């Protein structure tokens, strides 16, 4: 079966079977996949500890993690009158993150968190 999708649980079970008792050619025949696929799954298991390794996203990593964005949202709710430059200083001092005001503003807008909106929520 060329290009057939194999369920991740089946991959894990196949790797476990190979590591415990079964021969790779038997498992390949049983699942109707090539032995090269089985070898790849075993290699991934040995390298990552899982036959289905995490997907690495291409591109530049984000400056602000999702957890830090949640902290920023909470901080804006606590201090609605705080400006972006004060937020920028807080990030540099307490989280060791240096970010421009424009990048900080863009990150907040991506989350649909404008300064006006957060200030309005904090006042209510």
- Residue-range domain boundaries for the chain: 8-48, 66-123
What radius of gyration, in Å, describes the C-alpha atoms of the chain? 24
Instruction: Give tens-digit pLDDT for 64-117.
Output: 888 888 898 888 888 878 888 999 999 999 999 999 989 888 888 887 777 677
pLDDT for 2 equals 58
Answer whether 118's CB lies under 8 Å from 81's CB: no
**pLDDT exceeds cutoff 70 at 122:** no
Q: What pTM does this model have?
A: 0.48
* Residues 21, 119: Cα–Cα separation, whole Å: 63
DSSP letter at 50 equals S
DSSP letter at 33 equals -
Answer whether 80's CB lies under 8 Å from 123's CB: yes
Averaged pLDDT for residues 18-46 = 87
pLDDT for 53 equals 77
Of 30-34, 54-58, 75-79, 113-117, the range with the lowest mean pLDDT is 113-117
């Amino acid at each position: 079966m060329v290009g057939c999708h194999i369920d991740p649980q089946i991959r894990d079970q196949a790797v476990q079977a190979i590591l415990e008792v079964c021969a790779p050619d038997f498992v390949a025949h049983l699942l109707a996949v090539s032995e090269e696929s089985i070898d790849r799954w075993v290699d991934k298991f040995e390298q990552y500890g899982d036959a289905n390794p995490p997907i690495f996203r291409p591109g530049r990593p984000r400056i602000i993690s999702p957890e830090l964005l949640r902290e920023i949202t909470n901080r804006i709710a606590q201090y609605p009158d705080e400006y972006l430059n004060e937020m920028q200083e807080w990030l540099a001092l307490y989280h060791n993150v240096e970010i421009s005001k424009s990048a900080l503003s863009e990150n907040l807008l991506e989350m649909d968190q404008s300064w006006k909106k957060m200030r309005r929520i904090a006042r209510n």
